[in-house]
A and B are shown apart, each in its own frame.
Chain A
Amino acid sequence: MEILPIEVIDKLVIIVAVFGISLVIAMYSTLAERKVSAFLQDRIGPNRAGIFGIFQPLADGVKFFMKEEIIPATADKGLFILGPSLSMLTACMTSAVIPWGDTLELFGRVIPLQVTDINIAVLYVFAVVSIGVYGIMIGGWASNNKFSLLGALRASSQMISYEIAMGLSIVALIMTTGTMSIGEIVYQQGGELYGIGALDGFAWNVFYQPLGFLIFMICAFAECNRTPFDLPECEAELVGGYHTEYSSMKLGFYLFAEYINMFISSAIMSALYFGGFNFPFIDKLDLSHNWETIIGVGFFFTKIIAFIFFFMWIRWTLPRFRYDQLMRLGWKILIPLSILNIIITGLVLLLTL
């Protein structure tokens, strides 16, 4: 398996670009969150740093770096630092398998806009999600604080519970698509919906797997620890949850990882269920391939941003679950529903094939 150096450079450029874009979008999600919350609560929101508060994330970042870095005397120092690092690492890792766009034809070569198209991509996403628990658990335990530990235990049990329903909802999706490569799944969604010619480019999996999508989305909310599932950092009961003892940029990393997770799960939802970079009537436009790709990337990011807005909308609309309600929803509603979804999918596949 000889790798040409030029391809390595391609991949490096794509990796750096994907990394940079994820970080910038996550950075501006923090501003967007405050703006959206202000909008929903009929306020103005941050508007002091630059026009419309455009430099607010930079100001926040500088503030985080300038704060005093405190490691509690009784904390386990190594693990205390490892916690937020692992959180950031696992948050960024998933972006490797997401197809950000179709291929670009540059300098006589075809460049896929994806870091790697492995044929176990769906399972890879799932593996990274299941590793993501450790950042929170280690951080919570290393703080040597009862509230942190309780927050970490809540977070881990919540994430394990919702991983199961998430995996089962993906099983039904894999049954219909017949592949585990996300690139392949996105390409399949470029066809005609239910075979109707007028709906070309609309063969999105959400129309074939509506229940699966709903379960996946609820689980994605729970995996990101977003409201209404933000029990790990429930201030009313747990002070600050698993990051009670954290300060300065280590706290910043925990908070920032949440926004990266939100961006990545929005990207996965739009790639798996909402057609990824496909947009309707792509063939009717009669554009060159490169332009189609660029417009496709634009559509993909529009979908992602719509999902991020949806995340925020939910956060500032719904109250938090109680802990037993959260567990009941996960184990007694979502898991049976996703098994039912698998059975229905199997029956439909058997009857139509």
Chain B
Amino acid sequence: MDNILFFILSALAIGGALMVILARNPVYSVLFTILTFFAIGGHFLLLNAQFLFIVNIIVYAGAIMVLFLYVIMMLNLNKQSEPTQPFFIKVIAAISGGLLLITLLGALRGMDSDKVISDIPYSDIGLVKNLGKVLFTEYLIPFEISSVLFLSAMIGAVMLGKKNLKDH
């Protein structure tokens, strides 16, 4: 049962990710990104990480992608006005993407697959209560630092918005 679900979700995730870059219309790309997020969320559920699943849906699928969609709809990009990229930009993109792929493959090559699976305890660590306890005791300082980072990003966004307001 878990295996079947795993393969269905993997097919959805990979297919969705491929469609994101293959779709001509940017709105379709965003919608396929959301589909990919759902498939990845399903993987989290299979690993019994309920909190990660639901936060993935709320934050990425529910909030960030709405803003993406919002911006793309405002820009009203369509086939006629889609800017064609110069050839050398395509080459640069292919090279940097290929480098990332090689890095990832190199990192995965040395891994012992049996060990990885046994290292993930099929336990309740992903449940909200346990995750919260670990976050607020063992990893308190990284958690607080990252929240300060978010706060500074938020203040930065507000400052940028304010500046624009003054110009007009």
Known: A119-B127, A124-B54, A180-B128. A141 touches B66 (CB 8 A): no
With a cutoff of 8 Å between Cβ atoms, the chain B residues found around residue A267 in the complex are none
Interface membership of chain B positions 70-92, coded 1 if the CB is closer than 8 angstroms to chain A and 0 otherwise: 10011000000000000000000
> Whole-angstrom distance between the alpha carbons of A118 and B128 in the complex?
11
Is A127 in contact with chain B by the CB < 8 A criterion?
yes
Whether B62 and A153, one on each chain, are in contact in the complex, defined by CB atoms closer than 8 angstroms, is no
Whether B34 and A141, one on each chain, are in contact in the complex, defined by CB atoms closer than 8 angstroms, is no
Whether B66 and A156, one on each chain, are in contact in the complex, defined by CB atoms closer than 8 angstroms, is yes
Give the shortest distance, in Å, between A186 (CB) and chain B (any CB): 18
Whether A120 and B34, one on each chain, are in contact in the complex, defined by CB atoms closer than 8 angstroms, is no
Whether B62 and A118, one on each chain, are in contact in the complex, defined by CB atoms closer than 8 angstroms, is no
Known: A141-B73, A149-B73, A180-B128. A127 touches B57 (CB 8 A): yes
> Whole-angstrom distance between the alpha carbons of A87 and B69 in the complex?
17
With a cutoff of 8 Å between Cβ atoms, the chain A residues found around residue B125 in the complex are none
With a cutoff of 8 Å between Cβ atoms, the chain B residues found around residue A126 in the complex are 54, 58
Q: CB < 8 Å: which of B27, B54, B61, B129 contacts A123?
A: B54
Whether A137 and B73, one on each chain, are in contact in the complex, defined by CB atoms closer than 8 angstroms, is yes
Is A171 in contact with chain B by the CB < 8 A criterion?
no
Main secondary structure of the interface of A (DSSP, over half): helix
Known: A119-B50, A120-B51, A123-B54. A133 touches B73 (CB 8 A): no
Chain B contact patch, size range: 20 to 34
Interface membership of chain A positions 115-136, coded 1 if the CB is closer than 8 angstroms to chain B and 0 otherwise: 0001110011011011101100
Q: How many A-B residue pairs have CB under 8 A?
A: 62
Q: CB < 8 Å: which of B54, B61, B70, B128 contacts A156?
A: B70
With a cutoff of 8 Å between Cβ atoms, the chain A residues found around residue B31 in the complex are 79, 138
With a cutoff of 8 Å between Cβ atoms, the chain B residues found around residue A149 in the complex are 73
Q: CB < 8 Å: which of B50, B57, B67, B69 contacts A118?
A: B50
Whether B54 and A133, one on each chain, are in contact in the complex, defined by CB atoms closer than 8 angstroms, is no
> Whole-angstrom distance between the alpha carbons of A137 and B129 in the complex?
35
With a cutoff of 8 Å between Cβ atoms, the chain B residues found around residue A127 in the complex are 54, 57-58, 61-62
Whether B50 and A153, one on each chain, are in contact in the complex, defined by CB atoms closer than 8 angstroms, is no
Whether A131 and B61, one on each chain, are in contact in the complex, defined by CB atoms closer than 8 angstroms, is yes
Give the shortest distance, in Å, between B129 (CB) and chain A (any CB): 8
With a cutoff of 8 Å between Cβ atoms, the chain A residues found around residue B51 in the complex are 120, 123
Whether A131 and B69, one on each chain, are in contact in the complex, defined by CB atoms closer than 8 angstroms, is no
With a cutoff of 8 Å between Cβ atoms, the chain B residues found around residue A157 in the complex are 70
With a cutoff of 8 Å between Cβ atoms, the chain B residues found around residue A131 in the complex are 57, 61-62
Known: A118-B50, A119-B50. A130 touches B57 (CB 8 A): yes
Known: A138-B31, A149-B73. A120 touches B50 (CB 8 A): yes
Is A15 in contact with chain B by the CB < 8 A criterion?
no
With a cutoff of 8 Å between Cβ atoms, the chain B residues found around residue A153 in the complex are 70, 73-74
> Whole-angstrom distance between the alpha carbons of A156 and B68 in the complex?
12
Is B63 in contact with chain A by the CB < 8 A criterion?
yes
Give the interface of A toward B (CB within 8 A).
79, 118-120, 123-124, 126-127, 129-131, 133-134, 137-138, 141, 149, 152-153, 156-157, 160, 163, 180
Give the interface of B toward A (CB within 8 A).
27, 31, 34, 50-51, 54-55, 57-58, 61-63, 66-67, 69-70, 73-74, 127-129
